[in-house]
Amino acid sequence: MSRIYNSCLEMLSEEFRNLMELGTEVQSSTMQDKDVRNNEDYKTKELIGNTFTILDTSDAEEMFETMKKEYNVNLSISWADAEFEERISDLTSNPGEAYKLREEVWSEFLHNGRFSYTYNERISPYRFKILEQLKQNPGSRQAIISIFNPVLDIPNMGGKARIPCSMFYQFLIREIAGKKRLNMIYVMRSSDLLTHFVNDIYLAIKMQRYFTEQIGLEIGNFTMFISSFHAYYKDLKRYNIF
């Protein structure tokens, strides 16, 4: 059953605690495009099938300051904002410019000057079609932007190249408290608590806000499902969380 949180900050506190207290030890075999099966730094604390709903996401920006203040994890909201603008740009780009604001994380995944994929490449061709679907058919269950592409990504499994952690975004217009609102369901195969989790949520919420504005509705609930919600031991040690 999905846990229900009133705000992003409530979610962050509780999900952090849940993973630390209930997570089980799992040795990762790959991390992005790296083979790490014999590297104990890449053992994880992991929860599988983790899901929750946030009722009010208006405090999403505050998650960055909370991560810094409570856990000494410095994440870049500047990178996230720049990355979002690239994701919804009409111009297809790879590698883009946003990654340079978080180069210490992303540069190692550049090969021959490109990433194996960008979210812009997966979102840009379909954004307007999904907007039209929502406008023309408000009761639709088909308004999905898929990030995972089996034709392109399955051949890269096992560390051959990076494959998306995000599976898809789904948009559902439904009535809440007497008003039609745009709800989002965000499905991920994998999310790393200390490096990407807050960015994953923040970027998805920005996408929900963007679509809400484009179709002229109010924002609704945000629901997230993560197949593998985890933290690497190397990061738990780095931030003195153990």
- Alpha carbons 28 and 204: distance in angstroms, whole number: 25
Q: Is the pTM of this model over 0.85?
A: yes
Closest listed residue to residue 188, CA positions, set 164, 152, 210:
164
Output DSSP code: residue 147: -
28 pLDDT band, cuts 50/70/90, is confident
Tokens of 112: 């021959």
Convert the pLDDT of each residue in 151-202 to its tens digit.
999 999 988 899 999 999 999 999 999 999 999 999 999 999 999 999 999 9
Residue 1 scores a pLDDT above 80: no
* Domains located in the chain, CATH noted: 3-238 (3.30.572.10)
Distances 151 to 93, 154, 165, 207 between C-alpha atoms, Å: 20, 6, 16, 25
Query: In sequence order, which residues have a C-beta less than 8 Å from that of residue 188 and are 6 or more positions away?
Result: 165, 166, 167, 200, 224, 225, 226, 227
CA distances from 53 to 46, 65, 211 (A): 19, 21, 18
The mean pLDDT of 141-160, rounded to a whole number, is: 95
